[in-house]
Amino acid sequence: MPVARITMRKIKDVLRLKLDAQLSHERIAASLGLSKGVVTKYVTLAAAAQLDWPTIQGLDEADLQRRLLPAPAKHSDVALPDYGYVHQELRRKGMTLMLLWEEHVGQRPEQRTHKYSQFCEHYRQYARALKRSMRQTHRAGEKLFVDFAGPTLGLNNGDRVHIFVASLGASSYTFACATPRESMMDWLNSISLALRFYGGVPQLIVPDNPRAMISDPDRYEPGTNVTVADFARHYSTSVLPARPYHPQDKGKVESAVQVVERWIMMRLRNTRFNSIDDVNDSIRPLLDRLNNKNFQKMPGTRASCFTQIDAPALQPLPAQLWEFAVFKLVRVHIDQHIDFEGHRYSVPQALVSQQLEARVTAHAVEVLHRGQRVACHARSMQKGGYTTVAEHLSAAHRAHMEWTPERLIHWGETIGVATGRFVSKLLHMRRHPEHGYRACLGLFSLAKRYGKTRLEAACLLALELGVTKYSHVRDILANNRDQVSQQDATQWTSPEHEHVRGPSYYQ
């Protein structure tokens, strides 16, 4: 689109929205009624002219046009090289600009040519014009880039350890540690160690797209694992994976990984370690040397830049350390408990039959309803056991919990000696007395239905028969066997009859 059709005022608006408001090219084009290509063109021209927004803001339209669109250079008798050829030749392994400049000068002995410094500068301008993407500008405390190095280090037992690397965007302050694998637990525990190393939390954590952390590696809407989301929520940050097949999105950590491989791992390549702790002990002093090493093209070090730029902008660490947690959908059973790995944990009675989410750490089980915690218990490894909070249960269930073997036996003895003995046998003949609680409550209901006198007689008859089940007492009462005389009962159970087993059979 020609310049005449776009006023310099609109071009200035494009640069203001990009450089000051940090809007995307798409949003700028939509708001100003331009194409995305026009926006890209003038943003690229401003970058080539090394113009930032404070400088542009102070320029009038004529000065801005001269800076963005300088007049074509006057004809010169200097022999210019073919920079397209130079660009292609530089892709060869071992090729340098110095060699190409010497060849260019040698091919034109009678013509004027650029000095080496001018030759390099003109080539850099040509290369910048070829690259449409802009150089990333990292804000203080904004992004922490994380990844694993490709090589590994060996232990004496034959295992290999993996090296995790993290780097802050603005200062390049680097962290590294060894892990046994590259599982989700290794990723998150390493990031947690990195945050403690930095003493603060960035706004974004940028990994690649590891399957251990990213459930849906979509280019536009990547989905993270629920445990990763819980980690980000704990630290009040966000995990935003880099776009697939776009290494420029994580160039900072790619560079940091390369530096760690060369500065740390190569120095340790011949060292033998007994454990991961030994590896980390050897990494720490080398990491300190790396962060305090002077930059080649900038003043200062990674450590000094971190202190001045990144550290003041980081968010504070939470008071509690994050614990690795797994999530599982659970349903509340009729007994007002959920089940996790064979152990049962109570929840409020109002949630019976509903589906909840359990957040389980090494030490605790939290039960969540619509994101809100409704119960929290210490984790138990006892299969078949119960962890119950009395306040969670209904009145009837709480009354059931208050029963003890001693109280049940005492209740039976208030009815009669036979009932007391029957309750005692009913409880103690089972592996756990609790297994007989429901049967005792059944006897209690029989006392209400048939009366205490008949229950005492039925328990006496059951003891004589040698039976210890609630169902036997219930059947005796239902068939009115308790009302048969003692003599008849004895005859009825006479062991002399060849077809009657007698009380001893049931002992």
**Tell me: the pLDDT tens digits for 179-201?**
998 888 888 889 999 999 999 99
Among residues 25, 71, 69, the alpha carbon closest in space to that of 51 is found at: 69
Helices in 69-106 by DSSP H: which ranges? 83-89, 97-106
Q: How far apart are CA 436 and CA 442, in angstroms?
A: 10
**Res. 499 pLDDT band, cuts 50 70 90:** low
State how beta strands 355-360 and 343-346 pair: unpaired
Residue 168 near residue 194, CB atoms below 8 Å? no
Flag whether pLDDT at 216 surpasses 70. Answer: no
**Res. 334 pLDDT band, cuts 50 70 90:** low
Q: How far apart are CA 205 and CA 237, in angstroms?
A: 7
Structure tokens at 491: 């005859």
Q: What is the pLDDT of residue 482?
A: 79
What three-state secondary structure class fits 47?
helix
Flag whether pLDDT at 389 surpasses 70. Answer: yes
Place of tokens 């310099």: 8
- Mean local confidence (pLDDT), 147-163: 89
More confident residue, 56 or 253: 56
Handedness of CA 346, 347, 351, 355 (dihedral sign): negative
Query: Which uninterrupted H or E stretch holds 506?
Result: none
Q: How far apart are CA 470 and CA 390, in angstroms?
A: 27
For the domain covering 143-313, report its CATH number: 3.30.420.10
- Mean local confidence (pLDDT), 487-499: 50
Least trusted range by pLDDT, from 224-228, 433-437, 440-444 = 433-437
Flag whether pLDDT at 410 surpasses 80. Answer: yes
Handedness of CA 433, 435, 438, 440 (dihedral sign): negative
Would you call 400 exposed, middle or buried from its count of C-beta atoms within 10 A (0-12, 13-18, 19+)?
middle
**CA 246 to mean position of chain CA atoms:** 23
Q: What is the DSSP letter of 3?
A: G
Among residues 412, 411, 404, 407, the alpha carbon closest in space to that of 434 is found at: 404
Cα-Cα end-to-end distance for the chain = 104
Structure tokens at 25: 């090219």
Distances (CA, A) of 383 to 36, 331, 339, 360, 387: 63, 18, 10, 16, 11
**CA 270 to mean position of chain CA atoms:** 35
- Mean local confidence (pLDDT), 236-264: 72
Q: What is the pLDDT of residue 281?
A: 92
Cα angle, residue 447 at apex, residues 444 and 449 outer, rounded to 5°: 115
Q: How far apart are CA 155 and CA 276, in angstroms?
A: 8
**Res. 1 pLDDT band, cuts 50 70 90:** very low
More confident residue, 488 or 349: 349
To the nearest 5 percent, what fractions of the chain are helix, strand and coil?
50, 15, 35
Q: How far apart are CA 337 and CA 401, in angstroms?
A: 14
Flag whether pLDDT at 223 surpasses 50. Answer: no
Structure tokens at 199: 């003493």
Q: How far apart are CA 466 and CA 228, in angstroms?
A: 61
**Res. 164 pLDDT band, cuts 50 70 90:** very high
State how beta strands 326-331 and 343-346 pair: unpaired
Longest alpha-carbon distance in the chain? 142
Domain boundaries, the chain: 3-68, 83-130, 143-313, 326-393, 403-506
Q: What is the pLDDT of residue 135?
A: 45
Q: What is the pLDDT of residue 279?
A: 92
